[in-house]
Amino acid sequence: MSEATERANELGNILDTSLRSIIETGDGNFRPYDRYGVVLPGMSWLPLSLNAEEKLDLFLLRFEPGAQSYPHEHTAAEQFLMMEGTLTDCDGHVFKAGDFVRFEPGSTHHSASEGGCLILVILRNPNRPLTA
């Protein structure tokens, strides 16, 4: 038994498990990405925490190879962590796994993934779709 495990056992269980939730992210519960009112081909998402009261959404977003996002404006800051793959923004910048990206309110863009990617998205307000 490791020293850390021994120490944890000494401290005892103080957790109320009714206050913990677990979402299995690898079990295929992704659904078609439809946050603009239409399903975007090759994109799917898995809501982790959607809190309308605090206007804070946290979700996983998957781009299949060749998928592209809809042009949109950020009405509040959007942040995301590239977890797998690469994503190319409309200016040609390539985000890779491990990059943490922040778009400021008022920024506009669209992105595509040639080989597919997985992103953890933190969004304060819904994005505003733009006409392509």
Ranges in the chain, pLDDT < 70: 52-54, 132
Residue 52: per-residue pLDDT = 59
Evaluate whether 63 touches 116 at the Cβ level (below 8 Å). Answer: yes
And the tokens for 23?
A: 């979402």
Residue 87: per-residue pLDDT = 98
Residue 63: per-residue pLDDT = 97
Please tell me the pTM assigned to this model: 0.84
